[in-house]
Each structure stands twice: as C-alpha cells, then as structure tokens.
Amino acid sequence: MTENLILAFSLTLLAGLATGIGSVVAMFTSTTNTKFLSWSLGFSAGVMIYVSMIEIFVKAKYALTAALGNQTGNWATIGGFFGGMLLIALIDRFVPNQGNPHEFKKVEEIKDSKVHDPDLLKMGTFTALAIAIHNFPEGIATFTAALQDPTLGVAIAIAIAIHNIPEGIAVAVPIYFATGSKKKAFKLSFLSGLSEPIGAIIAFLILMPFLNDVLFGVIFASVAGIMVFISLDGLLPAAKKYDEAHTSIYGLISGMIVMAISLILVV
C-alpha cells in the first residue's frame, strides 16, 4: 500500500510538472513543430479515450454493480461518468476565454504579439490560473487510478503530461514577452502544474479515509468522463487545428494501440 501511495504521488507530480517542460520548449524555440504537436495531442487523446472506455469505465461498473446490485450499479456508473463530464464542462464554462488551456496557441502566434504588452501578462496569468483549475481534477484522476492500478496510473500520467506541455508553452511565452524575464515565465508555468499534485493530496486526505467499493466506482466513472471530455473538447480539436496529412488521427490510433498492448502485457 505504501509503495502504491509513493508511486501515485510521484506520477501525479511528474504529470503536473510537464508544464515546466513546455516553458523550456517555449524559451528555446522560435517556431512550433506543428506535425509533432498534432501527433502528440492525438496520441494523448487516444490513450485517454481507450483507457477510459475500455478499462476505467468497466472497472467502475464492476465495482458499483458488485456493491449496489446490477440496476442501481449501472445507474451509478453512468451518473458518475456524465457527472465527471459535467464537472469539467462547468470548469470550462467559468474560465475566461483568453485563459482557457484548451485553446492551444503556437509559439510564433504569441511571439508575434507586441512585446511588453500588458494584455500579454494578463493572458499568461489567466492561462496559468485556468491550467491550475483544470489540473486539480486531473490530479485526483491520476492519483486515484495509480493507487488502484499502477499500470493505469502510468498511462494516464503520460497522457496528461503530453497535453500539459503545450499548456506550459501557453503560460510561459506571454509572461516572458510581457516581462522580459525567463525566470518569471518558467516559475509561473511551473507553478500552474503544481495544482495536480495538490489534487492528489486532497484526494488522499479527504477521500482515502472513506474509500470503499462504491466511492471508488463513482470516482473511477467520473475520471473516465473527465478524460473523455478533455479529449473530445480540447485535445482532438487542437490536434486537428495543426493537422498535416491525417497526422492527428495516426497519433490517436497509435495512442490506442500502445494502451491496448500495454494493458494486455501487464495482465
């Protein structure tokens, strides 16, 4: 149990701090590799969708039907699934448009803006806040999955880390060009990812004492809903935006294949 806790916290921390990788990329590149961005976002979506629908949703349903009976358990499963979607949709709804982390921007798009423009600082700050808000439930998702099944935790952490990299770029570039400070840009980008391990800590302190089959099932169903929503609302539209010769769909399929094979090999 202790080993699983350490692994769960570690995976959540690494996934969250991938925003810092994005800030480093932003500071040392002048253009975005759109082909790789499209493929990697598609890959991340493929991992999330496959593991959500094939593995996490099924485990949630099994736990809930075993604890509550077939009919009640099925209703609880779909309630948790669409409840997770509703949660992340509400977060999106109340996040300012200019700070929505699902609106990925290329490095050169932001760098073309006016240097030391106060609006850039505002945009970077709002984006950092938005990412912090979004990363909180993602942290709970990664931690809970890793605690129950380390293999699932690794897969989810990798997928979330991939999509956190362009989010880190979206924070770092406007902050840097508004202030001229790489240190401030990296710091804010780095801090925006810390809400993910904070989500894990909250899950540990509040949910762990009450964790049983019913709560686990509801959380897992909600995690599946959250990840499917993020994939359909954020990752795939962004991947298609920078698509070149069906690169995003190849990334999507690759992510599903990698996830499918990894789940078989660890059984």
> At residue 28, does pLDDT exceed 80?
no
Q: In whole angstroms, how far apart are CA 242 and each of 109, 181, 236, 251?
A: 13, 29, 10, 12
- What confidence tens digit (pLDDT) does each residue in 188-233 have? 888 888 888 888 888 888 877 777 888 889 988 998 998 899 888 8
Quickly list H helices, the chain.
Answer: 2-16, 18-28, 34-50, 57-68, 70-94, 107-111, 118-148, 150-179, 182-192, 195-202, 213-230, 236-241, 247-265
Q: Is 163 annotated as a binding residue?
A: yes
Mean pLDDT of 88-116: 60
Q: Is 167 annotated as a binding residue?
A: yes
| pTM of the model as a whole | 0.74
**Above pLDDT 70, what percent of the chain?**
83
Please give the Cα distance from 259 to 219 (Å, whole number): 21
User: Which 8-state DSSP code applies to residue 98?
Assistant: G
pLDDT in the model for residue 53: 92
Angle at 162 between CA 107 and CA 157, to 5 degrees: 150
Angle at 157 between CA 151 and CA 163, to 5 degrees: 145
Please give the Cα distance from 188 to 122 (Å, whole number): 12
Please give the Cα distance from 57 to 71 (Å, whole number): 16
User: Which 8-state DSSP code applies to residue 95?
Assistant: S
Q: Is 196 annotated as a binding residue?
A: yes
* Lowest-confidence region among 22-26, 69-73, 256-260: 22-26
For the chain, what is the domain count?
1
Q: Please return the burial class of 264, using the count of CB atoms within 10 Å of its CB with bins 0-12, 13-18 and 19+.
A: exposed
- What confidence tens digit (pLDDT) does each residue in 148-188 have? 788 878 888 888 888 788 778 777 777 777 777 778 888 88
Q: Is 55 annotated as a binding residue?
A: no
Q: Is 164 annotated as a binding residue?
A: yes
Name the residue range of residue 233's domain: 2-265
